[in-house]
A = this chain, B = another copy of it.
């Protein structure tokens, strides 16, 4: 039932920077991306959705849990989880991606969670409208920012902090922003923010504060570490840089054939293959997906299906003629209606955020042996 096949090819060209540090490894074995074959699923099953947890997953006793809404409001609120779940509920299908997705493909590589390109997932989030809660709290005229504080605490960049991010009053008031307590029809598991998290469709993951304990309406721009120091696109020392907000477009494919365990190089039978994948953007609908089997030298248009929702990814397929034996580098790129196109080469920055350069999959087309299962075992 086992056979030796042709020499393996190491996908060396795909990862330009060697020497992952022990600290990066500690993060990589804790956090995890979505295995690319999970792109088969329109809705990512729990356990396959990407996870990035800055500090520790807090243990929350729901009996003692309250969300507080305070600061510059007329009517400060404290709500139990029951009070939140008894409010009008909305379910939205949302594609969520880490801002650092693709970081480990930059050279030199910024030190943080070393994502390769698969830090994404799409889930059905159920929750209640933040805007409606805000209406009840009544922001005062001087209100500028809303600060969202999690129950997770740690040290980052030498700063002892609770995880905190902010949104402008305008961004927070959009109707699609949810306080979510369920994923795929189930209560949030601990790792996704139990009992309550923020969902801001279209934005990168750092915005969707998990284990939400308080919302504070402030009369000035929030200056916390995760807002003012981290999550900026900066290419020169000392510059302020652009804050990271909405997701740039990205397409990913399910790698065809079967993998080599160690190199992840793919082995594909010579034949015609339907390649499938998903594409998304937080800056406008996906309008085009293109496929390349020559490392991005030439491109052909893929077929697009309807998006799974207004805020969810869009399935695409491409009929790939892989009848010629040999080595290939498959690529895919997406374009959104705002005109953003995935670049072929990464765009370097200090934090390694927003690297939406195209996916590259090393494939060997050759004779694979037919299915044989325990043929000599009986």
User: Which residues of A are at the interface with B, using a C-beta cutoff of 8 A?
Assistant: 1-5, 7-8, 10, 12, 14-15, 17-33, 35, 37-38, 40-41, 45-49, 51, 53-57, 59, 70-72, 104, 111-112, 114-116, 118, 145, 147, 149, 153-162, 164, 189-192, 213-214, 216-219, 222, 224-225, 255, 258-264, 267, 368-369, 371, 373-374, 377-378
Bound form: Cα–Cα A248–B327 in Å: 43
Q: How far is the CB of A114 from chain B (nearest CB, A)?
A: 6
Bound form: Cα–Cα A155–B369 in Å: 11
Q: Assess whether A377 is in contact with B71, with CB atoms less than 8 Å apart.
A: yes
Contact of A47 among B20, B30, B46, B369 (CB under 8 A): B46
Across-interface contacts of A222 in B (CB, < 8 A): 377
Across-interface contacts of A32 in B (CB, < 8 A): 29-32, 51
Across-interface contacts of A155 in B (CB, < 8 A): 5, 8, 258-261, 267
Across-interface contacts of A156 in B (CB, < 8 A): 260-262
Across-interface contacts of A30 in B (CB, < 8 A): 32-33, 35, 118
17 A–B contacts from the bound complex (CB under 8 Å)? A2-B160, A18-B21, A23-B262, A27-B262, A28-B29, A29-B118, A30-B35, A37-B57, A46-B189, A56-B258, A111-B262, A155-B260, A156-B260, A160-B258, A162-B373, A213-B373, A214-B374
Bound form: Cα–Cα A305–B114 in Å: 38
Q: Assess whether B262 is in contact with A112, with CB atoms less than 8 Å apart.
A: yes
Q: Assess whether A115 is in contact with B21, with CB atoms less than 8 Å apart.
A: no
Q: Assess whether A24 is in contact with B20, with CB atoms less than 8 Å apart.
A: yes
Q: Assess whether A189 is in contact with B48, with CB atoms less than 8 Å apart.
A: yes
Q: Assess whether B20 is in contact with A25, with CB atoms less than 8 Å apart.
A: yes
